[in-house]
Structures are given as C-alpha cells and as structure tokens.
Chains A and B, each alone.
Chain A
Amino acid sequence: MTASTTRRRFLRLLGLGSGGALLAACAQPAPAAPTAAPKTEAKPAAQPTAAAAQPAAAAATPAEAAKAPAQAAKVPAGPVKIGVLAARAGVTAAVGQAGQRATEWWAERVNKEGGILGRQVQLVIEEESNPKDTVDRYRKLVLQDQVDVVVGGISTGVTLAVGPVAEEMGTPLLMWDGTTQNGIEETIEDPKWIFRSADNEVEAIGAALLTPKYFPNVKTVAGIGNDYSYGRDLWATYQAILKRSMPAVEFVLELFPKLGDTDFTSQIAAIRQAGPDLMMCSFWSGDAPIIMKQAAAVNLFDGMKGVFTTAGGVHDALKKEFTPEGLLLGYNSMYFDDPKASPLLKQFVADYRSKYNEYPAYECDHAFFCAEAYKAGVEKASRAANEWPSKEQVVKGIEGIEVESLSGRRMMREDHVMMGTWFQGLTTHKNAYDFVTIDPVESLPTTRIQKPAGAKLMDWIGTMPL
C-alpha cells in the first residue's frame, strides 16, 4: 500500500518535471540546504518524508484531537511522531515490509482509539539499508523530523552501527530485531536509550534444545548462515549446545555466503559432498526460500534432516512443492497459525490477509510490541509525572513493562532486552495453504532460551538446563 502510493507519487513527480527540470533541480537544493535551519516545531512537520503513513496522518482531525482525555491541558499539541526504520530493498525487503505494515496497523488502531494520551500517532518512515546510510537516516529522524521515538532495525549489521549513535542522541530507539552484539559479545553493556531484541542466539538455542528430541540419531552436522555476526553466532551457539547434549555429533562443514546472495547451488553441492545427517541453516530473509528450492531440486533432504532456525520470517514463501515435511522450522516470536492464538492475533491475521493477501510473519509481532511498549511506557510515565513525560521518563516507563502483543503477553526486561515466547516445530503439509506450517508447535519462552541479564553467553550455555 505505502510502497505503491510512493510509487504513484513519484510518477507524478516525474510527470511534473521532465528532463530539463531534473537538471534545474540539481542546482536548487544547494542554497536550500544551509537555510533550512530553523529549529521550530512546525517546519519538520511540513517536511514530506519518504513514506509518511497516510492513514495515520489523515486520521488526525481537529475534532478528534479536541476530545482528548483529562490530561489534555498538559499534553503538547500535535501528533506523536514515531520514526520507523524499515528495510525495503533486496532480500531483507519482505521482512522490513512486514514490520512496517504491522506498525501501520498498530498506528491506525491506536489513532482510532484516540491516540496516545489523546495525541494522534504519525509515522515517519525511513529506509534501513547499509550501516552508513541508516545512521544518516536515523540522525535525520531525530534531528530534522524531531521524532519522539524511533522503532525498527532488523539486521544486526546495521543496528550495531545505529545503536551507539542512538545512545548519543537522547531519543529512545526500540529495535525490532536488531541487537548491538558484535559476535556473541554485547557492545553496549548498560544501554540508556536503546531497547534491543532478544539475543540473536535464542533461535539457535531453541533449535539446539529441540534437536535431540526430534533428530536423536544425527551423527554429523553441517551449518550454513549469512556471513555476519548473526549467521556466525547462531552456528557457534548451536554447536556449543549440541556438544553438551549430543557429544558424539561431529560438525563437518560450515558455509557463510554473503547476505544478499541468491545462488546457493555451489554451497549445496559442497553440502552434498560433505554428506551430513543434518543441515542447520540460519537464513532469515528472502534467501531462505531460495536455498530451500535449490536444495529440493537436487533432493538434498532425502536422507538428511534440516533445521531452519529463522526461516519463519518468510514462511509463506516456503511453498509445499519444495519444502519437505519434518524440517525443524523457527517462527521466532509469532506463529500466525497458532492454535492458541489470541483474538488480537486472529484479528491481525485476518486484516493482514484481506489487505495484502498474505499471512503475517514474526517481524509484525516485534514491530507491534515495540510500538505498543512505547505507548504503554508513555502512559505509565505520564501517570507518575502527571503530564506528557520527557524522553528519559518514557525510557524508565518502558523498562520492565509488560503489554499484550500479537503473540501474547510480552515484556521489556529491565536491561532493555525484549522477552516473549519463541515458536518452533516440524514442518507439515497438512494445512489449507500452499506453504508449510508446523505441527506440533513448541513454545520456547525467553526465560528458558535467553541468557539472564548480565550473564556471559557461553558461560551460561555451559550450565543452562538442557
């Protein structure tokens, strides 16, 4: 929806100015840049942004703003601005899009119910791309658009760079899925402004805990993941736990293609050559269905088990034709088809389906949770302050807060790490969709698979209950 409106807007823009106007345009902004200085509130509001969410902004009619609750006197006028960093290109696009859609759904819903303390929510959407440009867009959100909070951030490669910048900028940042881990080590021990996703490794820990249960006869294991912290750490963690629970297992191969690669035939040939009993794959974006398809094309899973820790992020691209039954598949923090789904999740799945003709993936839950935790944090802090809370107060309000998210009750731990329940299970074709689902559904609470605050990961793995 948003993508297509921007596209249309852009086409209109093209229509206005043909070739000549484009040239003229390149001289124009040069003087505009230094003069666009005033730090007034009004200016950034007028600034058109990459994809300012129309539904949210349009709902903010004066009439609705007037019927704000009692605190109205002490609540600033104008909408609450929420900056959103969402990936929109390349293999990570689908995941970023899911997060953005859920945020839009949340904003629409909140605005319909009167906003946050009577203030309407306005989304300012920017692109998550490479670290350098994303840091830049983050600075723009905070310094230029003067947003109240920023949500988003998926790839740890990016949030690792954005994290320290956000710590310096004095505006809360709630990361959907990114962390500030470099390898398994936390780079920001005691964050003030940023809230992070659960450790990257929780999915590997969950999958490793389930591996002996479902694949007890495995003797040799190969691993493949994207070539950065996420892929490498998941593999390291998975091995560490299996070494405890299945000491006889031998690790025969590890492969780390670059995030963004779309051809894995050579890697698959290498895996066939190594001939492991099980392949562990931590792909989480558009590359997961690709490797699945290319693996199916050579019957890779005939006689080999598979563990896909995170591929539930693109679950509806895992078509039955090429995704076998019996793979261990991780859905991260939300399983759209959960038999125990809450009414909220059911409502969301239905709306999502009717609007996009797709089934939502877990990033929706992280995005919804981040936005909802912010709202609850503001409300909690405002009760103490009896006015619209400062950003520091909001951060304090978010710490330890528990809210109803799409996947159920979720909490933001005191040390700024999101908690919740992770879902994994064996793939099955017994459903009404053209893609796989899981049965049985294993629930893995983060109290079980996320290291406690302050613990060192590998130390904890050495002693955690298996």
Chain B
Amino acid sequence: MSNVVDVLLSGVFAASILFLVAAGLQVVFGVLKIFNLACGSFYALGAYVGVSAVNWSLAAGLPRPLFVLALVGGGLALAFVGPIVERLLRTVYDRDEAFQLLLTFAVVLMLEDVTQLVWGTAPYSTGALYLSYGQALILGSTVPVYNLLVIGASVLIAVGLGLVLTRTRWGRIVRATADNREMAEALGVNMRRVYVQVFTLGTVLGTLGGALVIPSTTAISEMGIELIVQAFAVVVIGGLGSMRGALVGALIVGVLRAVAIATRPEVEMLLIYLIVIGVLVVRPRGLFGGAAA
C-alpha cells in the first residue's frame, strides 16, 4: 500500500507544479487566444528568482522556516515581466496565430539566455532547505512536508482562481471576453486592460510554479524548454483554454508518468505523447475543451 501511495504522491507533486504552469497557459489562451510557449521560460525565471530571493532574505535575517514566503515573494515580484511581454505580443494581435506563436518562441530564446546572463550557467539551488520542514507519514508512506505544502498551495491557487473567475466581477469580464471578445468589447469592457491583466496572471502562475518547485531540485537553464512540452501535453489533454482541463490534465500527466516510471520506465513520456495524439485525433477540444477559462 505504502508503495502505491509513494508513486501516487510523487505524481501528484509533479502534477501540482504542472497545473500552475498549465493554468498560466490556459488563462492566456482562453482570453488572448495565444498559445504562449514562453510559459516554460516564466517557470524557469521563477525558479532562478526563487533561489535568489531565498538566499537574499535568509542573509537578511529571515528565519529559515519562513523561506517559503521568500519564494512566493520572488514569484509574485516577477509579475512585472507579464506586461512587458504582453506589450510585445500586442503588436501582433491582429495577425495569424502562427506569428503569435513564433513571437512567444522568440521570448523563449531570449529568456533562456537572460537566465544565463544573470545567474551564470552553473546549476543554482537552495541547498538543503527542502528538508527543513521534515517528513510526514501518510498511509505508511514517508512524504516530505514541503511536497505537501506545494500540493496544498497549488490546490489553494486552483480554488482561488476558480472563485475569482466565477464569483467576481473581474472574473465575469474575463470569461465574457474569452467567450466572445466582440460582444464584451461592445459592452464597454476595456479590452487592452483585460489583456494585460490576464497575461500578467498567466505569467505569475508560471513564475510561482518555478519558485515553488525549486527547493526540491536545482535550477538549470534548460528547465523551461523541458517543462513547456509537458505543460503542452497537459493543456491538450485537458482541452485548450479550460481551467478544469488544466487541473485534470496535470493530474493525468503527472500521475501517469510516475506510474509509468515505476512500472514500465521505458515508456515514460512516450505514453504521454501517445495520449496527447490520441486526444487530438479523437477529441481535439480535449476533455474539457469548449468550456471558457
């Protein structure tokens, strides 16, 4: 039993990070209709800034157990990147989506080197902080408390996003825009502002994902382009533009991959891409496609 729990929890941990990045991808696609390849780069940026933020704040006297606050702060502080990239994308809103996709690819290329310029090329990590919350025993399985924390934070963010999108005025505007841009605009919605806000939200989800994952691993410059293909799998399986899709897709990808590694390691990502292709062929809108953001 504990073995199954082990595998499942490792999958859920991966899924909770994937969900954040994929949610960023979804909210942007839902409203701006742009498939943002750079969401992986935001994730990498969040990771690097997360390490720096932790190092600075610990040096400045932040008690060790509170390092999570530094991570979240670092992730949130990167919100400023959103409007900048959105400003770049704004120039091609009226173009074919091929150009929008390529522009985000340009951002991917640039950000990969920006991380190397700022942080150098060597792996960059928070050392042993990952272990500072100790372990918990769940159904006979040892789990790092930090993993549970991240899973919890991810669930919290998912619930929060859901509430904001369904219960607030701003959420209704966003959903209306996602459903029918012309209609929303006709009703007096300031489209430009909604776009900036939504894109920034998408950015922050990605940077938070990167910042939260980093204690458990090490930041390297390729981590963004590696993650984007997984996030891509998540949103295709879940359905482009759907938040519920991001959640379910992330769980499917994260848990299936963990199960595959534990049972048939050679199929690993192969299995995921097969599912992606299967979904695209049989049900191109994904499991939850069609539903607005």
Q: List 11 A-B contacts (CB under 8 A).
A: A11-B117, A93-B220, A263-B14, A263-B217, A265-B13, A266-B10, A266-B258, A273-B7, A289-B125, A293-B217, A297-B216
Q: Name A1-48 residues within 8 Å CB distance of B.
A: 3-4, 7, 10-11
**Residue of B whose beta carbon sits closest to that of A8:** B117
- Give A321 to B263 CA distance when docked, in angstroms: 31
**B contact residues, range:** 35 or more
Q: Is the CB of B143 within 8 A of A298?
A: yes
Q: Which listed segment binds B: A210-218, A254-262, A406-414? A: A254-262
- Give A317 to B263 CA distance when docked, in angstroms: 31
Residue among B6, B121, B223, B257 facing the most chain A CB atoms (10 A cut-off): B121
- In the bound complex, residues from chain B placing their C-beta under 8 Å from that of A3 are 120-121
Q: Name B249-276 residues within 8 Å CB distance of A.
A: 257-258, 261-263, 265
- Give A263 to B261 CA distance when docked, in angstroms: 12
- Confirm or deny: B190 has a beta carbon within 8 angstroms of a beta carbon on chain A: no
- Confirm or deny: B222 has a beta carbon within 8 angstroms of a beta carbon on chain A: yes
- Confirm or deny: B73 has a beta carbon within 8 angstroms of a beta carbon on chain A: no
Q: Is the CB of A293 within 8 A of B130?
A: yes
- In the bound complex, residues from chain A placing their C-beta under 8 Å from that of B9 are 269
Q: Is the CB of A262 within 8 A of B131?
A: no
Q: Is the CB of B10 within 8 A of A268?
A: yes
Q: Is the CB of B131 within 8 A of A97?
A: no
Q: Is the CB of A322 within 8 A of B7?
A: no
**Residue of A whose beta carbon sits closest to that of B263:** A270
Q: Is the CB of A294 within 8 A of B217?
A: yes
- In the bound complex, residues from chain B placing their C-beta under 8 Å from that of A4 are 120
- Give A297 to B147 CA distance when docked, in angstroms: 9
- Give A270 to B6 CA distance when docked, in angstroms: 8
When the two chains form the complex, which single residue of A262, A296, A317 contacts B220, counting CB atoms closer than 8 Å? Answer: A262
- In the bound complex, residues from chain B placing their C-beta under 8 Å from that of A10 are 117
- Give A269 to B5 CA distance when docked, in angstroms: 9
- In the bound complex, residues from chain A placing their C-beta under 8 Å from that of B52 are none
Q: How far is the CB of B214 from chain A (nearest CB, A)?
A: 10
- Confirm or deny: A94 has a beta carbon within 8 angstroms of a beta carbon on chain B: yes
- In the bound complex, residues from chain A placing their C-beta under 8 Å from that of B128 are 293, 319, 321-322
- In the bound complex, residues from chain A placing their C-beta under 8 Å from that of B262 are 266, 269-270, 273
When the two chains form the complex, which single residue of A90, A255, A286, A322 contacts B265, counting CB atoms closer than 8 Å? Answer: A255
Residues of B within 8 A of A (CB): 3, 6-7, 9-11, 13-14, 116-117, 120-123, 125, 127-128, 130-131, 135, 142-144, 146-147, 216-218, 220-223, 226, 257-258, 261-263, 265
- Give A266 to B258 CA distance when docked, in angstroms: 5
- Give A319 to B260 CA distance when docked, in angstroms: 31
Q: Is the CB of A286 within 8 A of B220?
A: yes
Q: How far is the CB of B162 from chain A (nearest CB, A)?
A: 27
- Give A296 to B10 CA distance when docked, in angstroms: 14
Q: Is the CB of B6 within 8 A of A269?
A: yes
- Give A261 to B257 CA distance when docked, in angstroms: 14
Q: Is the CB of A269 within 8 A of B7?
A: yes
- Give A89 to B224 CA distance when docked, in angstroms: 13
- Confirm or deny: A187 has a beta carbon within 8 angstroms of a beta carbon on chain B: no
Q: Is the CB of B7 within 8 A of A270?
A: yes
Extra 10 A-B pairs, beta carbons < 8 Å, given A89-B220, A255-B265, A270-B262: A11-B117, A90-B220, A90-B221, A270-B7, A270-B261, A297-B135, A298-B6, A317-B125, A321-B127, A322-B130
Q: Is the CB of B127 within 8 A of A319?
A: yes
Q: Is the CB of A286 within 8 A of B123?
A: yes
- Confirm or deny: A165 has a beta carbon within 8 angstroms of a beta carbon on chain B: no
